[in-house]
Amino acid sequence: MLQISLWKRVLIIGLCLLGLAMAAPNLFYNRVEGHNDALAAFEKTGAMTAAQEEARAGWPDWLPSGLVNLGLDLRGGAHLLAEVKVAEVYKARMDALWPEMRKALAAERATIGSVRRMPSGEDELKIQIGEPGQIARAVEIARTLATPVVTLTGVGQNDIEVTGTGDTITVRLSPAEQAATDERTMQQSLEIVRRRVDAAGTREPTIMRQGNDRILIEVPGIGSAAELKDLIGTTAKLTFQPVVGRGSNPNANPGAGNEILPAADDANLFYTLDKVPVVSGDELTDARPDTDQNGTPAVAFRFNPTGARAFGDYTANHIGEPFAIVLDGKVISAPVIQSHIAGGSGIITGRFSVQEATDLALLLRAGALPAGMTFLEERTIGPELGQDSIDAGRIAAVVGLVAVVGFMIATYGLFGVFASLALLINIAMIFGFMSMIGATLTLPGIAGIVLTMGTAVDANVLVFERIREELRTAKGPARAIELGYEKAMSAIVDANVTTFITGVILFVLGAGPVRGFAVTLIVGIVTSVFTAIWVTRVMVAAWYARRRPKTITL
């Protein structure tokens, strides 16, 4: 007991000091947060405003600046429940399949006659042939375009189902392919929403799938639900399409394989475009705000090797022709190709403001949503509610701390003081650890910390009671203290291991607030065992070595 080696003392004291240092920035939350936000803005844009310079100077760079992130219920923010229109992807698949299907059937035109696409539902493709008697041959040709579904549940099935009736072929996605498409659409939507929200610099958003086609989005610190909808609700589907013509009639016949789209900056101008894009936004590798040759805001982009090759080949073969840049069904610009554009990079101009160019670059960099979203539920949670929660949690924590400290000192005297100091160090270490890992504190998380404060001294109670028992057998103070810690160890470990396992199960199986509670509970168990056993042991050892008492009272 009294022979704690020097390296152990250094390690224990060092961990305590590290916990206190890492927790300290939370005492100056607004100042440190402003400093961190200014640094983040500088890394993102390479420049800082005067206000950001002042905010940065508000906290020294050499001091720890990690903070416990406040959750939506404490900080305020926006809550959205979005439904992904997965059926839109079926229509896109059918539209993309049609040129290939037409090409395959047209090759047998001498046998099956003419080939024409019929009006059909969004999830199917209907094709009329000129020779009804050759419908079986047409179905056979169409089925050659089917490919196996690459999923465990779709083994042995193809991606499309082809049937023929009269002179019409009907093509649909198979049930296995629909399930696989739905899964891919949801995963892609989740990833893109996460990229857009994270790229906007918000703190610890909650983005999770709910059911088959819904996504829950909670973002602390954002101004309103409308702002969040603008950020993630834009499809940002970018294509580069050949221009066939332009005019003022949106209902004119565009011709086979073409479509009419409006200009983004002129309500009376409509472009006739080839439906098949040369390159799409899926092949972008980078997009960033820039300026054009006139110094007006623009967006610079770069394609991957495949997109760069296609873009370069097209511009080399169509010099002098206009080329439309289409974003979400609107032509934002249609410049004339002046020369061969090699290397796969260029800029998009379109009378943008600086903010619009920045937002467009962010959206393009994050990628296009595979399908649109319908927002079923939206809420804006004001910071006042969060402040009320923080105040209530602070009062609960203070009351709990005072009650525990008063009980321990009244019951165990000086040893109760040691336990109370260890409890304060324990709380600091909880906040310090959460700051280091960037954990999010929610209202349930505060409940977990308050609970930890109530149970943190349990280990000390076990140790002190064991010491009392040893003192009753007439052992000396040093021996009684040593045996008290040794004999209480197994009971302390057993009790906390079971609670720790419960916390891990809550974290793994729970979500949202339950996870927040589990995180503070798990961290609190680890730090409380450390402080209750090792920190108080060092305190008691130091006190005993200095005073050398003949007897102790507990």
Give me the sign of the Cα torsion angle 149, 151, 155, 157. negative
d(CA 98, CA 272): 19
R_g over Cα of the chain: 33
Q: Residue 163's beta-bridge partner residues?
A: 170
Q: 3-state secondary structure string, 470-481?
A: HHHCCCCHHHHH
pLDDT at 16: 93
Per CATH, the number for 240-350 is 3.30.1360.200
What top-level class would CATH report for the domain 86-178?
alpha beta
- Residue 40: CB partners within 8 Å, gap ≥ 6? 201
- Residue 217: CB partners within 8 Å, gap ≥ 6? 78, 79, 80, 81, 82, 193, 197, 205, 206, 207, 228, 232
Per-domain residue ranges of the chain: 6-26+384-547, 86-178, 240-350
pLDDT at 417: 92
d(CA 194, CA 205): 8
DSSP category for residue 532: I
Closest C-alpha to 159, from 140, 168, 170, 172: 172
Q: How far apart, in Å, are the Cα atoms of 42 and each of 35, 39, 201, 352, 503?
A: 11, 5, 12, 23, 39
Strand segments, DSSP code E, in 136-269 are: 160-165, 168-173, 206-210, 214-220, 238-247, 258-262
Contact 7, 416 (CB under 8 A): no
Mean pLDDT by 10 residues, the chain (554 residues): 80 93 90 84 72 86 86 79 86 80 86 85 86 89 83 72 88 87 85 74 72 86 77 73 86 81 83 83 75 76 80 83 81 77 73 71 70 84 67 80 89 90 91 85 80 80 89 81 87 87 86 76 88 89 85 76
**DSSP, residue by residue, 383-408:** HHHHHHHHHHHHHHHHHHHHHHHHHH
DSSP category for residue 275: S
Alpha carbon of residue 435 to chain centroid: 19
pLDDT at 120: 82
pLDDT at 13: 93
pLDDT tens digits for 8-53?
899 999 999 999 999 999 889 888 888 888 887 777 666 777 888 8
Task: Please report, in angstroms and rounded to a whole number, the separation of the first and last CA atoms in the chain.
Answer: 18
Contact 457, 419 (CB under 8 A): yes
In this prediction, what percent of the chain has a pLDDT beyond 70? 92
- Residue 260: CB partners within 8 Å, gap ≥ 6? 250, 252, 254, 270, 271, 272, 273
Residue range 6-26+384-547 in CATH 1.20.1640.10: yes
Is it true that 6-26+384-547 and 240-350 share their CATH fold? no
